[in-house]
Structure formats: structure tokens, C-alpha cells
Amino acid sequence: MEIVVASGKGGTGKTFLASNLAILINERLDGAVAADADVEAPDLVLAMGGERRLLRNREIWESMKASIDHKLCNRCLKCIDVCMFDAITLVDGRPKIIQEFCEGCGACGHVCPVNAIRFRRTRTGRIYSVETAAGVKAAAGDLEIGGRNTGELVYLVREEAKELARGDHVKNIVIDSAPGIGCPVISSLSGADLLIIVVEPTPQSLKGAKRLLRVAESFKMKATYVVNKFDLNERFLKTIGSELGLECAGRIPYDPEVPSSYSMMRPIAIHGMDTRAGRALEEVFENLGSWIT
């Protein structure tokens, strides 16, 4: 089963919950593999105590980019009109493709009457898998800086995680999603089994959670939520409950042991189950028991 930890808003504690949940499921249920689907800011391995051993690493060159051969270009400018992504601009009377905005869709190539547009593959990023210091295997991706195609890379991270899981006869995959509701998040949710929304007791975080839930509903997936740092604003818990309309899987208090566990690379699920955050994690894990088959 694929469990996605996501949030809508950034910095609510997705990586904290995903990393520790993967460790707990791995130790106490039939094993788990972790997948870092935040390819723009891949931190999951770090949160699991770092890398013990690199298992696999491969470069992904799937991003197509257009360029114009100016010896052939007759400056009809049809390509500018047809590009839906504003990736072609006029510079000194000539069309110029801004590489960072180009989606590589090929539309310009189809309308060019003189065949002046060429396409080449560029680096999308890399996909790798490691054995973490916490003992859990993890798949992760790292997007080329300034890159697009985040959805493609997330898809490949999930495939890599499935392969790890198959190899070790493990049933559960915990996916740490990117913040937001865009391409990488949709790619994380598509076809997954359970969504855990991490929400902080702030209006800004609730707004993100609600937007995320609208996306999840389009996939008709099961969803629950966990409130992180709930004691910062306890009055807000009721509002969260009524506005999300989901069953709550637990509440985690603010605990300085959490940043400290990152700094020392000692995950709470291994070294800190007796802390406030650890005890709350224990509860979340128990509550999720009925969801995780």
C-alpha cells in the first residue's frame, strides 16, 4: 500500500511524519520502504539519519527542449503564436526559445514551415535509492535546478520505491510529498492508497490542506489528517476538524526535541520515543493501524 504524506502548505512537518512513520512501520509491521517525492528539496534521507549505503543511482535525461536553427528560420514567427507556455520571445526580430520555460511539447516544431526547430534531450535530474542509517530503504529524486518535469521524476521515484519493495517483499511504501498542490503533488497522489495531510493550527496551513483535499477528492482517495504543533493554537483544532471533515489520526505537540533530532541525525522513532513528540507519534501510529492494511 502506498501512503502519501502531504500538506498543501510547506514546512508543516511532512518529512518529520513520513520519516518516522516509515521507521515505525518498518520495525513493527511487515516492513516499509520510504520514497522522497519532494524532488526540489529532497530531505527525507537526512531525516532518517542519513545515508548508510548507496544502492542505485541513475541520471534521467527525459526533458525535451526546443532550439531554433537561425540559418533556416524565415522569421514567420508562427512558433511564438503557437507556444502555450510563453517560452518563445522576440529578440532583435528573431524568435528565441527560453530554455527554462520550454516544456518540450513540440508545438513549435509542428507549425514551423521551414523545419528550423530542433529538439534535444536535457537532464531532468537523478533517481537514487539508499539504505538509510535508520535501516529503512529509501528511493529519492533530485530535480535539475531550475528544471520542469517534476511530475515525471516523482513518477520514477515511486517506481524505484516499488522495485525496492518488491525486492524485499515489503508491502508498505511511505511517500513524502512536495509542498503545494501542483504537478509533483498530483504525481504523488495519482493511484496511491491513503493520504495523510499534515496540518498546523494556522489559517494559512488549513487553507493549504483544504486545497490539497480538493485535489485528493478528484482521485477519490482515502484521506486522514494529523495536526502538528497542535499546542501552538489549540482553539483552532475544532475549526480544522469541521472544515476538513475527515477523521483525525492524531496530534503532535511542539517539541524542541524535533529540530534537535534533525541536527543530531537521530530520528525520534529510534532515539526519542520517550519524548513528547515521540509519545504523540506512538499514538498516531496506533490510530493509523486500522488504515494500514
| Cell matching residue 208 | 493549504
Of the ranges 27-35, 100-108, 168-176, 240-248, which one interacts with another protein (CB under 8 A)? 100-108
As measured in angstroms, the least distance from the Cβ of 5 to another protein is: 13
Q: Look at the alpha carbons of 276, 281, 282, 286 in this order and tell me if their dihedral is positive or negative.
A: positive
Is residue 191 a contact residue for another protein (CB under 8 A)?
Answer: no
- Output DSSP code: residue 8: B
As measured in angstroms, the least distance from the Cβ of 281 to another protein is: 17
| Closest to 239 measured CA to CA, from 261, 210, 215 | 210
Is residue 11 a contact residue for another protein (CB under 8 A)?
Answer: yes
Is residue 190 a contact residue for another protein (CB under 8 A)?
Answer: yes
x/- string (CB under 8 A) for another protein, residues 53-82?
A: -----------x-----------------x
Q: Toward another protein, which CB reaches closer, 91 or 145? A: 145
Of the ranges 126-134, 156-164, 165-173, 180-188, which one interacts with another protein (CB under 8 A)? 180-188
DSSP string of 173-227?
A: EEEEEPSBSSHHHHHHHTT-SEEEEEE-SSHHHHHHHHHHHHHHHHTT-EEEEEE
Q: Nearest 5°: phi and psi at 53? A: -155, 130
x/- string (CB under 8 A) for another protein, residues 113-142?
A: ------------------------------
| Closest to 161 measured CA to CA, from 139, 136, 190, 177 | 139
Could you say which of 107, 134, 138, 244 contacts another protein (CB under 8 A)? 107
What whole-number distance in Å separates Cα of residue 9 and Cα of residue 204? 7
As measured in angstroms, the least distance from the Cβ of 29 to another protein is: 26
Q: Does residue 62 contact residue 154 with C-beta atoms inside 8 Å?
A: no
| Cell matching residue 65 | 527542449
- Sequence-distant (6+) residues with CB within 8 A of 78 are 111, 112, 113
Tally Cβ neighbours within 10 Å of residue 210. Answer: 16
What whole-number distance in Å separates Cα of residue 3 and Cα of residue 224? 11
As measured in angstroms, the least distance from the Cβ of 92 to another protein is: 19
Of the ranges 20-28, 127-135, 148-156, 277-285, which one interacts with another protein (CB under 8 A)? 148-156
Is residue 94 a contact residue for another protein (CB under 8 A)?
Answer: no
DSSP string of 124-162?
A: -EEEEEEEETTS-EEEEEEEPTT---HHHHHHHHHHHHH
Is residue 9 a contact residue for another protein (CB under 8 A)?
Answer: yes
Using CB under 8 A as the binding criterion, the count of chain residues that bind another protein stands at 66
Interacting residues toward another protein by CB under 8 A: 7-12, 15, 40-43, 46-47, 64, 82, 84-86, 100-101, 103-107, 110-111, 143, 145-148, 150-151, 178-183, 185-186, 190, 201-204, 207-208, 211-212, 214-215, 218, 232-233, 236, 256-263, 265
